[in-house]
Structure 1
Amino acid sequence: MASRQVSIASSVGLHARPAALFVQEATSTGLPVTIAKEGAEPVDARSILAVMALGAKHGETVTLEAQGDGADAALDKLVALLSRDLDAE
Structure 2
Amino acid sequence: MYSKEVQVTNQVGLYARPATFFIQKANEFKSTILVEKEERRVNAKSLLGILSLGITKGTTINLIADGPDEEEAVNALVELITSNFSD
Instruction: Name the counterpart of 2:8.
Output: 8
Query: RMSD across aligned C-alpha pairs, in angstroms?
Result: 1.3
SS at match of 1:50: helix
Aligned equivalents of 2:10 and 2:26: distance in 1? Answer: 17
Q: In the aligned structure 2, how far is the partner of 1:74 from the partner of 1:45?
A: 11
Partner secondary structure for residue 28 of structure 1: coil
For 1:28 and 1:73, the matched residues in 2 are separated by 10
Structure 1 stretches of at least 4 aligned residues deviating more than 3 Å after TM superposition: none
1:31 positional shift: 1.5
CA distance in 1, matches of 2:11, 2:84: 6
Aligned counterpart, 1:37: 37
Q: Post-superposition shift, 1:80?
A: 0.4
The residue correspondences of 1:8-87 to structure 2 (distance < 5 A) are 8-38=8-38, 40-86=39-85
CA distance in 1, matches of 2:83, 2:11: 10
What is the CA distance between 1:10 and its match in structure 2? 1.6
User: Structure 1: where are the runs of 5+ without partners?
Assistant: none
Which structure shows the bigger proportion of residues in strand conformation? Answer: 2
TM-score by length of 1: 0.90
Alignment coverage as a number of residue pairs: 87
Identical amino acids, percent of aligned pairs: 34
Q: Please, which runs of 5 or more residues in structure 2 have no aligned partner? A: none
TM-score, normalization by structure 2? 0.92
Deviation at 1:84, TM superposition (A): 2.1
